[in-house]
Amino acid sequence: RRKPTRQSFGRGSLANQRAEHRFLIFRDADSWMEYQRLYGGGGDAFASMMGHLNMMAKDIAAMEVLGPNPDGTAEWLKQAVTKEAENRAAGKPSRFAGNPETALDRAASTVRKLDSLWGSLRGTLETPVNSRFAGWFAGARNLITSSVLGSAMISSVSDLGTSAIARHFVGISKRGTFTDIAKAAMPSTRQEAVSAGLILDSAMHVFHAQARYVGTLDGPGWSSYLADRILTYSGLTPWTQAARHGFGLAFMHEAARQAGKEFDKLPKLFRETFRRYGINARDWDLMRKMPLHEIGSGTMLLRPQEIDERVNPKLAEKYLEMVQSETEYAIPSGSHRSKIELLDQNQPGTFIGEVLRSFAQFKSFGTVFLLLHGRRIHGMFAGGAKLGGVAYAGSLLFSTTLLGGMALQMKQVAQGRDPQDMTDGAFWGAALLQGGGLGIYGDFFFSNVNRYGGSFATTFGGPLMGRANDLWNLTAGNILQLASGEKTHFGRELTKSLRSNPPGSTIWYTRLAWERIVMDQLQFLADPEANKAFKARQKFYMREFGQDFWWMPGEMRPRRGPDFGAAVGR
């Protein structure tokens, strides 16, 4: 009923918004379901309740830090930065450091980044400008996710390296990294982790659908559900959850082990971790007097919920914040900072916003990895701990490269090929990128095309560009070849498209059988020169990567087992 006026219209301060009571009483369950279908995110009552709790938690957190009107405080911050930069440029006293000539430009960049970060935190950065346009592209990206990331579980073996580094940094023993993850995968341990407050990821699918290596799974519900299920069945989601729970439980177990010591007697690294999060000697004395919780076999935990809030209402929160923040270093997943580095302020539903999201697909993990650990290493150097920074960087580089090499070899065997020769220096360059989440770019150490036959340009442009290029070659490309009298390979290109695009086709434990028993036999029917194409593929891998196949393309069963001696140049 509003009439257009010249006055801007807003929702007021966040505190006032949440003070208004809203109760909608529905006639029956069917009416609620219909309302959800038209205006909500689906017909799941539990998801609606959890989504409301999530938004309330975000709003409360924003008001605790930024006051009753967080948007107003964010605006004040931007204006304060600009004012200080103007003073710096004019030669007046200012808290804005650096070159006065570039102060205004740097302030504008800072303000823009603050805007983007705040928009990502509040969710406005993910609000579509054109929901239908955004839905098409999001659905396409979800389908690509379901067809490409079936083997991402193998890549996640590098988590063992980052977990060990993160454990050592906070003062936890590196021994038992893998066994802790294995234990955390058990239902009973998972329940203990959830009851200890390590619950965020477990309920993430009803808060705001997220996926590791992907970011937000938005768009049509069926496509995001499909992508989520494939990531679960491939083992990536359970592994990630277990690894995060394993680190959190190990931290709480170490706190329980050290509970008999005074703060100054704690191991140095463990004590410094507490200090970084504002937990001092007095806080530790309160914490260690609390009852410990046993999770079986004599394993004790110092959990946040045992800390008496009447003594210190914020202490349990700080403790849990410390555990969850350090978990992100152990198992890099996603962050608002990495999102804005890739997307800036471009919302979905705009042309540039969708282009950038398609470009950024599968690049989020590498960005998060560099931002998290790069910032920590920089902080150590800036704080004067240069030797510590060198040791941290060296350990991180060594462990992720070694485990990245292991992941590379596991992928080769899973795809029917012998391991690559590790005496070749190019292998370790590829392993370095694999450990940092950019494994596909390691292919260009050996060849001018990637493992799927794509060029560097289409690889860098993102999987959506690669799929568009394949579709063009399959349709218009073949028509143009036919019109000009050139030989077409429609059958071969059709089976190539069917080989890698169906959801779930790249799940690591079924992929090879799917390709050899189903798709290779289909290629024999659709492509008269299928046998020649299979031979050419074998020659390509031998020429570019020095690899032979242990299960030959086109054959229904393997001739032999993998030759592991090939890994050492034999």
Burial of residue 268 (CB within 10 Å: 0-12, 13-18, 19+) is exposed
Supply the DSSP string of 178-230, one letter for each residue.
HHHHHHHTSHHHHHHHHHTT--TGGGHHHHS-EETTTEE--SSHHHHHHHHHH
The pLDDT of residue 131 is: 81
pLDDT of the chain, 570 residues: tens digit per residue: 667 666 666 667 777 777 777 778 899 989 988 888 787 665 567 777 777 887 888 899 999 999 988 988 999 999 999 999 999 999 888 888 888 889 999 999 999 999 998 988 888 888 888 888 888 888 888 888 888 888 889 988 988 999 999 999 999 998 888 888 888 888 888 778 877 777 655 454 454 466 777 777 777 778 888 888 898 899 988 898 899 999 999 999 999 999 999 999 999 999 999 999 999 999 999 999 898 988 877 788 999 888 887 778 789 889 999 999 999 999 988 778 888 887 777 888 888 888 888 887 877 777 888 888 989 999 999 888 889 899 999 999 899 899 989 999 999 999 999 999 888 878 888 888 887 665 554 444 444 444 555 555 656 667 777 777 777 777 777 777 677 777 776 777 778 878 878 898 899 999 999 999 999 999 898 888 889 989 999 998 888 888 899 999 999 999 899 999 988 876
C-alpha 147/C-alpha 402 separation (Å) is 27
In order of 109, 165, 208, 377, 425, the CA distances from 398 in angstroms are 35, 11, 35, 15, 15
**Single-letter amino acid code for the residue at 492:** R
Beta bridge partners of 300: 294
Q: CA 446 to CA 429: how far, in whole Å?
A: 10
**3-class DSSP assignment, residue 472:** helix
What is the torsion angle, in degrees rounded to the nearest 10, for the CA atoms of residue 336, residue 340, residue 345 and residue 348? -70
- The residue assigned the tokens 């491939």 is 234
Q: Rounded CA gap, 103 and 91, in Å? A: 11
Please state, in angstroms and rounded to a whole number, the distance separating the CA atoms of residues 183 and 181. Answer: 5
Distances, alpha carbon 306 to alpha carbons 94, 281, 311, 315, 398, in Å: 46, 18, 12, 11, 39
Q: Which candidate, 461, 156, 469, places its Cα nearest to that of 330?
A: 156
Q: E-assigned strands of 282-405?
A: 293-294, 300-301
| Distance of alpha carbon 545 from alpha carbon 543, whole angstroms | 6
pTM of the model: 0.82
Nearest alpha-carbon partner for 537 in 525, 526, 551: 551
In the beta sheet, which residues pair with residue 216?
A: 210
Q: What is the rounded CA–CA span in Å between residue 168 and residue 247? A: 11
Report residue 400 as tokens: 């992720």
**Residue 43 exposed, middle or buried by CB count within 10 Å (0-12, 13-18, 19+):** middle
Q: Which residues contact 524 (CB under 8 A, 6 or more apart)?
A: 530, 531, 554
Distance CA 88, CA 102 (A): 9
Structure tokens at 481: 């070849």
Spatial distance between the Cα atoms of 321 and 319, rounded to a whole number of angstroms: 5
The single residue listed with the structure tokens 């030759």 is 563
Residues in the chain: 570
Q: Which amino acid is at 197?
A: G
The dihedrals phi and psi of 184, each to the nearest 5 degrees, come to: -70, -15
Task: Please check whether residue 339 is in contact with residue 364, taking contact to mean a CB–CB distance below 8 angstroms.
Answer: yes
For residue 420, what is the DSSP state?
P
CA distance 562 to 413: 7
- Per-residue model confidence (pLDDT) at position 163: 93
Q: What does the DSSP 8-state code read for residue 312?
A: -
Q: How far apart are CA 392 and CA 376, in angstroms?
A: 9
State the DSSP string of 535-547. HHHHHHHHHHH--
Question: By the 8 A CB rule, do 437 and 152 touch?
Answer: no
